Structures are given as C-alpha cells and as structure tokens.
C-alpha cells in the first residue's frame, strides 16, 4: 500500500504527478487555506504532509495525527513549524533551501531599486493622470550605485545579495551572529560591522535572517533611530522581524527615508498605516515567486516527502534526529 500524503495548498501538475507515483495523494487544489480543525481532520490518517508557510504545524496538530512521519514545507523558512515538537514526536521536517536563493535575492534588490527611485509612487502618479511633463526636480530619488549596503543576516541569500551589490559598485558591510571566514569576506567584498555600526553607516539596510524568538522585533524604534535619516530599510525575509508600528512612525516622522517591504507582521493583515504612506514600496510576500523557482520549491518539497515516506533520509531534513524517535 502506498503511503498517504496531504498537499495543503495548490501546487503544479508535475508536483502532483510525481507524488502520485509514490503516494496516495489528497490535495487542496482549491487553494483555500485549511483552518486548523480541517487540517487536523484531513491529516488524521496521513503519513506525510506537503505544506506551506500559511499552515501552522504545532504540537497540538501533531498529537492528532500519530501516523505522520514527514512535514515537507514548501519554503525555506519554517517558522510555521514547531520543530522541537516534530522531533519529539518522531516527525521529520524539511524545507526548500538553495532553489530560491537567487530569486529571493533579486526581489530584495528590486525592492531596493524601486524604493530608492520611487518607482511605485511614480507609476501611481502617471496612472492618476497627474503627469504634466518633465521637470528638473521631479520625483528625486537616491542612488543605489556606490552607496553603502548593510546586510543583516549573511546566510545564503545575504551573500548572493552582496554579490549583486558588486555590480552596482556598492560598499557592502554586514552583520551576522557568525562572522564569515576571511576568504569569503574577501570574495564578497563585504566588511563585518557590529549591528550599531551597520545601522549608523548604511544607506540601505537589508534584513535577511529567519524569524525566531531571538529575531522578533530585531528592528524597532531604537534601531530605526540609529539609522541615517536618508536610509532605506528593506525587509523581504519575514514579518515580525521589524516592529511594523515603529516603522510606520519612523517613515512618517522622517527618522528614515523609506522602506521596501515584502513581508509584514500578521500578514496578510498588514498594518493599515502602511497604505497611507508614499515612502514605502509594498509587495505581498513574493520573494520567491517566479515560475521556475516556485516549481522548483514544490518539487523539492515533494522529493523530501517521498524520501521520508520510502524509508530514506530527505535531502533537506531539518531534524535528522527525529527518525530515531518514531
Ligand atoms: C520562504 O521560502 O521562506 C519564502 O518566504 C516563501 O516564499
């Protein structure tokens, strides 16, 4: 008998075809997020789940599906999963690193350029029929080239952003709990800085770390005050890392110049204060959303799930020790 797997949200046909070769698949192709009760009920008899960051996989849910062996997240971030609870209950959890690194770095860069050059504001101006003609002081932005870029979180995506920055001849400084080896710093032309030094010097601050209790409100009112009034903040990693209410105040009173945001606290219910501001560029958590990358993420998750359900160790297992707890 094939193992039973639930796919909680819409995926691509090739993902379902691949899964169907190995599993008995039930999928939610209507793509309406499953509420916790429905998710628990549909997972009760399942051996595996391919899920998304919109699904909360916590201990209570795991307790109600004792057969579950694998939680395959279709995302690199996994703050929707209680990893310790998975490990304790012998459930392997997996994510999708690597396949989205470049795409997500591109979006961070796109937000930086769009915010610096006021692109969404400019487009809204044209669409509103306000453009009367060229003039010298129109929509003055700031330069990205030769500016100082501060990257907080120098993992895979942070490093790729640093490489992109070389093309714009930017000075790159970074902060991370773990300092990079000297040869990597050299290759990336990135200089280590304390968080405070980075906040004080950067023209652009890009956040690129996972959300976890230690990174909750890593950027709040105090940190925003340490930034230059001309600085721009980019958050395309996870909501909750920035105190959004404090950011709105800082954008209103000129503590910083602007922000480019792809992730929000409590998304998709973002703080309505953002909508009143011209100096933000807003995107609906599309960092990894290109056709090729989303297909690759779904297939990576599918392969992780199948590996776990056929007795193997998934390539992207986050808690290999879970296997021995089942
Ligand atoms: C991730 O993979 O964590 C992304 O945020 C999902 O788009």
Tokens read off for 45 = 């008899």
Partners of residue 57 on adjacent β-strands: 81
75 lines ligand 1 (CB under 6 A): yes
What are the structural domains, with CATH classification, of the chain?
4-99+291-325 (3.40.50.720), 101-282 (3.40.50.720)
Closest CA to 161 of 227, 102, 238, 234: 102
Partners of residue 232 on adjacent β-strands: 204, 258
pTM above 0.85, yes or no: yes
Per-residue pLDDT of the chain (326 residues; tens, 9 = 90+): 999 999 999 999 999 999 999 999 999 998 889 999 999 999 999 999 999 999 999 999 999 999 999 999 999 999 999 999 999 999 999 999 999 999 999 999 999 999 999 999 999 999 999 999 999 999 999 999 999 999 999 999 999 999 999 999 999 999 999 999 999 999 999 999 999 999 999 999 999 999 999 999 999 999 999 999 999 999 999 999 999 999 999 999 999 999 999 999 999 999 999 999 999 999 999 999 999 999 999 999 999 999 999 999 999 999 999 988 87
Q: Let me know: does 141 contact 121? Beta carbons within 8 Å.
A: no
**H helix runs in the chain, sequence order:** 13-22, 36-43, 59-63, 83-88, 101-116, 119-127, 156-167, 182-188, 195-201, 221-226, 244-252, 291-309
267 an active-site residue?
yes
Helix, strand counts (H, E) of the chain: 12, 12
97 lines ligand 1 (CB under 6 A): no
Distance 248 CA to ligand 1 centre (A): 24
157 lines ligand 1 (CB under 6 A): no
| Ligand 1 atom nearest to CA at 263 | 5
100 lines ligand 1 (CB under 6 A): yes
| Ligand 1 atom nearest to CA at 288 | 7
Closest CA to 180 of 146, 214, 151: 151
Report the relative pairing of strands 48-51 and 204-207 from DSSP bridges.
unpaired
Mutational test site, ligand 1, from 9, 11, 73, 76, max ligand atoms within 8 Å of CB:
76
48 lines ligand 1 (CB under 6 A): no
Which of 118, 159, 238, 294 is catalytic? The answer is 238
238 an active-site residue?
yes
Q: Let me know: does 245 contact 266? Beta carbons within 8 Å.
A: no
Terminal Cα-to-Cα distance of the chain (whole angstroms): 20
**What is the chain's alpha carbon radius of gyration, rounded to the nearest angstrom?**
22
């Amino acid at each position: 008998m094939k193992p039973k797997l639930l796919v909680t949200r819409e995926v691509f046909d090739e993902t379902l075809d691949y899964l169907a070769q190995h599993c008995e698949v039930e999928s939610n192709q209507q793509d309406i997020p499953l509420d916790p009760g429905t998710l628990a009920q549909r997972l009760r008899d399942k051996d595996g789940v391919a899920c998304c960051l919109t699904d909360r996989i916590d201990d209570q849910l795991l307790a109600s599906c004792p057969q579950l062996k694998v939680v395959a997240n279709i995302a690199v971030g996994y703050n929707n999963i209680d990893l310790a609870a998975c490990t304790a209950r012998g459930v392997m959890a997996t994510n999708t690193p690597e396949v989205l690194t470049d795409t997500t770095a591109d979006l961070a860069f796109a937000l930086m350029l769009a915010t610096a050059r006021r692109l969404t504001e400019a487009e809204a101006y044209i669409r509103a029929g306000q453009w009367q003609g060229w003039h010298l002081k129109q929509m003055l932005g700031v330069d990205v080239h030769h500016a100082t870029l501060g990257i907080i979180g120098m993992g895979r995506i942070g490093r790729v952003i640093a490489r992109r920055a070389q093309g714009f001849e930017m000075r790159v400084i970074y902060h991370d709990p773990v300092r990079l080896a000297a040869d990597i710093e050299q290759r990336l032309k990135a200089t280590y800085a304390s968080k405070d030094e980075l906040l004080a010097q950067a023209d652009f601050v890009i956040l690129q770390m996972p959300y976890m209790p230690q990174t909750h409100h890593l950027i709040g009112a105090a940190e925003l005050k340490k930034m230059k009034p001309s600085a721009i903040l980019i958050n395309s990693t996870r909501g909750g890392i920035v105190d959004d209410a404090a950011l709105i105040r800082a954008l209103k009173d000129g503590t910083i110049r602007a922000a480019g945001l792809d992730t929000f606290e409590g998304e998709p219910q973002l703080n309505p204060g953002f909508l009143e501001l011209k100096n933000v560029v807003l995107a609906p958590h599309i960092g990894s959303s290109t056709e090729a990358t989303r297909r690759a993420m779904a297939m990576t998750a599918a392969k992780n799930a199948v590996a776990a359900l056929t007795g193997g160790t998934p390539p992207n297992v986050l808690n290999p020790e879970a296997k021995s707890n089942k």
